[in-house]
Amino acid sequence: MRGYLDTATRFEFGTKAETLTRLAELVRTAVVLPLEYFTVAEWRGEPEQVLTRLCSQQWSAAPLIVRSSGYDEDRTGSSLAGRYLSQAHVSGRRELRLAIEKVVDSFDSDHPENQVLVQPQFEVATASGVVSSYEPSCGAPYRVVNWTSGSDTTEVTSGGSVVKTWYFLDGNAAVPPAAELEGIPELVLELEELIGDEPFEFEFAATESGALILFQVRPLAGVRPIPRGQRHAEIVAECQGQVRALNREQSVALGKRTVLGIMPDWNPAEMIGVRPRPLATSLYRTLITDSVWAESRARYGYRDLRGVPLLVDLGGLPYIDARASFTSMVPASLDDVLARRLVEHYIETLRGNPQLHDKIEFTIALTCYHFNTPDHVRELIESGILPATDSALLTKGLRELTIAIMADHGPFAADLRASEHLARTPVTRPAEFSLSHLEYLLTTCRRRGTLPFSGLARAAFVATSMVRSLVELGVLTATEADALLGSANTVSTVLLHDFATLTRDEFLARYGHLRPGSYDILSPRYDEAPDLYFDWSREAPPASASTQFEPSAEQLRAIRELLVSHSLPGSPERLLEFVAQAVAAREYSKLHFTRFLSEILVEVARAGARLGFTPDDMSYLTISALCDSRSADRRYISELVRAGKERHEMTEILCAPAVLTDPAELTTFVAGNGAANFVTQSRVIARVADVAAGDDPTDAIAAISAADPGYDWIFTKRVKGLLTAFGGANSHMAIRALELGIPAAIGVGKEQFEQWQRAGVLEIDAGNRMVRAVGAGRS
């Protein structure tokens, strides 16, 4: 029925049952439950004898689990995890027979060496999950633990519940995030000593006492492991040094320490991705986060942080320095003592609530005046954050700053004029690449594009804050607020109208410069790949008129009373006009400056082409290197490309949390909830197929809610990419995508999934940890 493998020989993976049998004799830091297994041939030939043997086991009186152990499962190069059936909570001979038949019937073939594995059902675990010896997506030398409460590991592999993910590096005294995981590091090391260098993963359960139960060990299919070498350790140490330095007192940015995040303020995770190529990062810094961001805020009445970069580059991973950001959001009229108190409060709030890192202005910082500002200031006083004497100063500073922003002749009006001027400025393209033309594009984009855009975006935030406060006070309903903000004639509404009414050539002449990744040279422009983004064969839907908001007389009266009581000038009509104007101006300004940004990328590609370099090669350069007088020297560029690729290879194998508060978090951290798991380093742009709604996933990105093995059929349809709401890095669909080399975003969260599911066309850039909606979607 079964025999033990020779433990003196080099360890080799067998079937699930064979591997567990061998490990039961070898592993000391975990327990393998008693087991029996048999082949399908044995079952077909002598089912009663097999049942009798099983039922004679002392442990068979308790509930059992019947599991597949296929000859093609858990092999090097192909794990087929979750492919075949398991039957849990089986009691008695009759149920056992039925369960075995179901498992046997689930095999793809009648191969006689397929096996069935029977063990006692384990149900007293406080935690369970899957551990990978290397990071499953890129092979980086991190241990990755996906775990959840309870004893059912399918909650992790199927993506059926909230899964937490712990990353850690060996040799760093990693403190487990849960007591039940305390033995995991030692178990990983023991298994690695037995198995060798081949990447593997295992399913486990942990008891309240900390004992670990080993359910399964299998090769980590499709992963090319990155050696745990000195270079990776050096890069991590360099990044830790940067974080330590940033957490010291600074002369301009206020406060004792900082927080680094990928989504506060100018949100690099959204704009350039988590692991951008050097060109994208350098453009973002040159055009916004080195100086433009601070200059704009100073012009709008905030503290002047010119000379302080907002973006911090940790080994190629872009983070926002929250201390610099928060300091730049304090009105310039406040003294250093009050400003410091505010910034330190904001920093500590973010440290204690890292999940707020993508919404710091709405939930943490007071950055403008609105109708609930006095209440928010009062909360700071009552909680002891600020002394009562500072209340009037803070309120006055925010009010004056906001009034200046909304004024007819203030910075908003000036930026609006600058943006309109840029809209009238044609983008020219000389016959051949010209360094002087590239420098002109960069200067124009920065001074007349991103600088005004930064201000208009600030005004749009003020407008949105005003509207939110009207909702909180009951003057507007949430639906009315949406209608008010939606009544702005934004680029999105006009683009949809134009797509429905313009010819293909007319539409591309107006919008052809747009790219899904504005700073990404590898992201095709609309006019470079129009059929990739739009279905020109179908009749365009009728253009819909934008929703118009018409306030009632009672609402206008309430707003007028609020303006008077809060000492804000102007009329209700002017306030609502400002709201619509600011929201629209932000979007149009972006449309205008991206004409120049997109052309910069065209010029970079042309600069490379003249020397025999591809756009992919050029993505590894920085924009400053291209503006060097040596940029026409092929050897010079070739060396920069080589060095850039080498650096980015290290970036691709760095793992770090979305919010960094301590250098130690670069060696051990728990990924925040809702952080997607990306599979492969590939990218794809394709239409989205809502599989549950019956969409054909052929040549599409398949969107399915959970990582259920029942969806395996989609892989027969030439699926280009995969998107799921739930699931971890070790879920069934993540493993299948990895084996097949399909870029995937697994476990993006329910809300984000539903948004992307409705997109017409989606881009998944797994290597850069990004998903973008790039085409018109379904309503």
CB 277 within 8 A of CB 648: yes
Say how far apart CA 31 and CA 204 lie, in whole Å: 10
CB 727 within 8 A of CB 706: yes
CB 122 within 8 A of CB 33: yes
Say how far apart CA 33 and CA 184 lie, in whole Å: 18
Give phi and psi for 311, each to the nearest 5: -95, 135
Nearest Cα to Cα of residue 140 among 509, 655, 681? 655
Give phi and psi for 522, each to the nearest 5: -90, -5
Say how far apart CA 260 and CA 323 lie, in whole Å: 8
Cite the DSSP H helix spans in 655-744.
Answer: 732-740
Nearest Cα to Cα of residue 184 among 200, 206, 159? 206
Q: Enter the tokens of residue 515.
A: 């790219």
With a CB cutoff of 8 Å and minimum separation 6, the contacts of 60 are 54, 118, 120
With tokens 């942080």, the residue in question is: 305
Say how far apart CA 298 and CA 704 lie, in whole Å: 46
In whole angstroms, how far apart are CA 156 and each of 128, 142, 214, 729? Answer: 8, 19, 15, 9
Give phi and psi for 642, each to the nearest 5: -60, -45
Q: Enter the tokens of residue 23.
A: 């490990």
CB 163 within 8 A of CB 234: no
> Measured at the alpha carbon of residue 267, what is the angle toward residues 265 and 270, in degrees to the nearest 5?
155
DSSP state of 544: P
Q: Annotate 322-357 with b (16+ C-beta within 10 A) or e (fewer).
A: bbbbbbbbbbbbbeeebbbbbbbbbbbbbeeeeebb
Active-site amino acid positions:
732
Q: How many Cβ atoms are within 10 Å of 104's Cβ, its own excluded?
A: 20
Q: Enter the tokens of residue 38.
A: 């048999």
In whole angstroms, how far apart are CA 475 and each of 342, 484, 487, 554? Answer: 30, 13, 18, 9
Grouping H, G, I as helix, E, B as strand and the rest as coil, residue 227 is coil
Say how far apart CA 655 and CA 140 lie, in whole Å: 8
Cite the DSSP H helix spans in 149-206.
Answer: 154-157, 184-195
CB 477 within 8 A of CB 488: no
Say how far apart CA 303 and CA 455 lie, in whole Å: 14
CB 650 within 8 A of CB 231: yes
Torsion-angle region of residue 187: left (phi > 0), alpha (psi -120 to 50) or beta? alpha
Give phi and psi for 284, each to the nearest 5: -65, -40
Cite the DSSP H helix spans in 652-769.
Answer: 732-740, 750-757
With a CB cutoff of 8 Å and minimum separation 6, the contacts of 101 are none
Strand partners, 311: 320
Q: Enter the tokens of residue 580.
A: 């619509």
Nearest Cα to Cα of residue 683 among 766, 773, 771? 766
Nearest Cα to Cα of residue 80 among 748, 738, 750? 738
With a CB cutoff of 8 Å and minimum separation 6, the contacts of 363 are 353, 356
